[in-house]
Amino acid sequence: MLRRFWLLFAQAVTVLLALLFIVVTLKPQWLQHQGQFGKQLASPIVALREVAPGSGSGPAMTSYADAAQKAMPAVVNVFSGKAGATPPNPHAKDPLFRYFFGNPKNQQQQQQQPEDETATNLGSGVIVSPEGYILTNEHVVDGADEIEVALADGRRTNAKVIGVDPETDLAVLKINMTSLPTITLGRMDQVRVGDVVLAIGNPFGVGQTVTMGIISALGRNHLGINTFENFIQTDAPINPGNSGGALVDAHGNLLGINTAIYSRSGGSLGIGFAIPVSTARSVLESIITTGSVTRGWIGVEPQDITPAIAESFGLEQRGTIVAGVLQGGPADKAGIKPGDVITKFNGRPMSDSDALVVAIRSQAPGDVVTLTVRTGDKERTVKMTLQASSD
**Tens digits of per-residue pLDDT, 263-274?**
655 555 678 889
DSSP 178: S
pLDDT of residue 103: 46
Of residues 216, 243, 268, 362, which has the active-site annotation?
A: 243
pLDDT of residue 222: 66
| Secondary structure percentages of the chain, helix, strand, coil, to 5 | 30, 30, 40
Examine the domain organization and report whether 316 and 232 are in the same domain.
no
Q: Check which CATH number belongs to the domain holding 383 and give it.
A: 2.30.42.10
Classify residue 55: in a domain, yes or no. no
For residues 140 and 240, is the Cβ–Cβ distance under 8 A?
no
pLDDT over 70 percentage in the chain:
72
Determine which helix (DSSP H) or strand (DSSP E) holds 22, and give its type and residue range: helix 2-26
Examine the domain organization and report whether 172 and 215 are in the same domain.
yes
Of residues 80, 94, 124, 139, which has the active-site annotation?
A: 139
Classify residue 50: in a domain, yes or no. no
Which of residues 258, 293, 328 is at a domain's end? 293
Classify residue 200: in a domain, yes or no. yes
Q: Which residues pair with 150 in a beta bridge?
A: 77, 156
Examine the domain organization and report whether 312 and 270 are in the same domain.
no
Of residues 94, 165, 169, 249, which has the active-site annotation?
A: 169
- Read off the pLDDT band of 30 (50, 70, 90): low
Classify residue 49: in a domain, yes or no. no
Over 349-384, what HEC string results?
ECCCHHHHHHHHHCCCCCCEEEEEEEECCEEEEEEE
Q: Is the dihedral of CA 179, 292, 169, 273 positive or negative?
A: negative
Question: What average pLDDT does this structure show over 49-69?
Answer: 63
Provide the number of structural domains found in the chain: 3
pLDDT of residue 104: 41
Domain containing 240: what range? 64-293
pTM: 0.65
- Read off the pLDDT band of 115 (50, 70, 90): very low
Classify residue 53: in a domain, yes or no. no
Which of residues 272, 293, 314 is at a domain's end? 293
Q: Among the listed ranges 76-90, 128-142, 156-170, 364-378, which one has the minimum average pLDDT value?
A: 76-90
Catalytic residue check, 139: yes
Examine the domain organization and report whether 75 and 186 are in the same domain.
yes
Catalytic residue check, 351: no
Classify residue 289: in a domain, yes or no. yes
Which of residues 293, 309, 326 is at a domain's end? 293
